[in-house]
Amino acid sequence: MARPPVHDYDVIIIGGGLTGLRAALQISRADLSCAILSKVHPLRSHSVAAQGGMNASLRNVPGSRGAIDSWERHAYDTIKGSDYLADQNSVVLMCKEAAATVIELEHMGTVWSRLENGKIAQRPFGGAGFPRTCYAADRTGHNILHTLYEQVTDKKIPVYEEFFVTSLVIDSGQCTGCTALEIMTGTVHGFCAKATLMATGGFGRIFSRSTNAIINTGDGQALAIQAGAFLKDMEFVQFHPTSLKGTNILISEAARGEGGILINRNGERFMTRYAPQSVDLAPRDVVARAIEQEIVAGRGFDGGCVHLDLRHLGEERIRERLPGIRLIAIDFAGVDPITEPIPVQPGQHYSMGGIGVGIEGRSGLPGLYAAGECACVSVHGANRLGGNSLLETVVFGRLVADSIIRDVRSEPVPASEPVLSAMKEMEEKINGILGRSGGEPLFPIIDSLKETMDTKFGIFREGSIMVKGLGEIYKLRERLGNITISDKNRAANQALIRYLELEYMFPVAEAVALGAIMRKESRGSHTRMDYPARDDDHFLNHTIASRQNEEIAITYAPVTLGMFTPEERVY
């Protein structure tokens, strides 16, 4: 009988996007063995869809009246935009590292857009006091992802692509690896490691209207809380103001950064009412709420949208600065933004919350680390500014890798027996799932969960409606054991993968719902109709979700303040 496939590395990285790739490079440079596990080919990771840019105070473009940017100003904008829920030590670290990170990526091969003087181009983004967003046309994530993947390939770092992680292995209270299903063969593999880094991205696909790729189902967050780590600030879910009507493909904030304007069916530039100082470049939570209010008031267009008008920018500028946006509008909406406005509506876009980690990426579970969107080191707080997500992935991908390097050098190689035992359990579980018959189909339950999240936990929230939504989540979860998958093959069984993803979606949805119900205030992306004011006296705290007796319990932890004290957000 063949030995089960068990792989030994110093470090396992789960996720092949920007965070995972940058971490792998750093660990490889330290002469430690590491491998990347990715549900898709790394170049299909959701990082490839990031369009707008990466914030850094390079000072290449002056602000109004010739003002000069700085990392302190970047930190202030980030903390103010977070509605003061961001941990200020994390924000300061990220903003100090930003300029060097952009330059490092350039030296690796990232082709940034340029000013006429040859310097890296920077454009204004929402909530920023300066044009500090460095960009590569409107395909910034695509360019950086390819750059880092080329570097990983050059270093010959092993990449297990199309491997779906099915469990974390815990031995004596420490994470010592994971199990994963090789999608194309149906084989369960074991991975034994001194450290495991979660870099799995967000959980947008628990909502039906989302800019996220279909792979973003909260796998990393669910694995972490099931293994004994905690989740933080999960109720803070960002809705991007401008996703394409119908498909919800992202229409980058870069379009407004270049001068695009939002108009309602009356031809009004309505953002002047909601954010008279920054207008269309207010933070995303402000603009998303404004668009939703216009639609509800009957000032939207048919189909529940407003228009993003770029026509005044001119053909040359649109072709040069926004070529990807133009192609998306043509291909998926049948409109050319050179001659017609783009129909847009808010869509779930980003997860400010995630696996709770300290500034060095350590979770509460020894041996388990997290970085990027799946983590909450809390640089975004209650609302993320555009241009800070790409920055976070690369900065903390490197810095958390440095923490891992320091931690594991003297650690012994973990025993393989717990991994082998976990593999056996997973084999039995998968056989049990595939062996069911006579139950109900999978996809209606997935669709019902997404509909519940959209309608009960959207841009505007209300207590009694959310309590009803939580009850719906629980009832749907009870039906998991009755689902029957018609495809009984192990190899390339996408229905099996969707089922396992659904298992992950439930604890994530529950954490979002419980956090939102218990946070009786409005802050950043979390807007309560029944509690419209921000309440610093009671809720200037992080929400902590942990598993206790098979259910999720909510507690709170203080926000780390520092350079800036909470003030009113005026835009």
Cα Rg, the chain, nearest whole Å:
23
Cα distance between residue 136 and residue 235, in whole Å: 32
Establish whether 284 is a catalytic residue.
yes
Contacts for 31-34: CB closer than 8 Å, 24+ residues apart: 32/405, 32/408, 32/409, 33/8, 33/9, 34/9, 34/10, 34/157, 34/158
Dihedral sign computed on CA atoms, order 530, 465, 239, 310: negative
Cα distance between residue 168 and residue 136, in whole Å: 37
Catalytic choice (284, 398, 477, 569): 284
What is the side-by-side strand order in the sheet with 133-134? 54-55, 133-134, 122-123
Retrieve residue 4's tokens.
């089960």
Q: Residue 29 burial by CB count (10 A; 0-12/13-18/19+): exposed, middle or buried?
A: exposed
| DSSP SS3 for 535 | coil
User: Cβ(473)–Cβ(516) under 8 Å?
Assistant: no
Q: What is the DSSP letter of 32?
A: -
Q: Which residues, other chains included, contact 285 with Cβ-Cβ below 8 Å and sequence gap of 6+? A: 238, 239, 382, 383, 524, 525, 527
Cα distance between residue 127 and residue 118, in whole Å: 27
Cα distance between residue 466 and residue 536, in whole Å: 22
Q: What is the DSSP letter of 526?
A: B
Torsion angle (degrees, nearest 10) of CA 204, 205, 208, 211: 50
Report the largest interatomic distance among the alpha carbons of the chain, rounded to a whole angstrom.
75
User: Cβ(249)–Cβ(211) under 8 Å?
Assistant: yes
Q: Which residue has the tokens 């926000």?
A: 559
Cα distance between residue 299 and residue 264, in whole Å: 6
Retrieve residue 464's tokens.
């009694």
Retrieve residue 222's tokens.
């669910």
Cα distance between residue 141 and residue 25, in whole Å: 18
Cα distance between residue 255 and residue 344, in whole Å: 12
Cα distance between residue 123 and residue 257, in whole Å: 6
Q: What residues are annotated to the active site?
A: 284
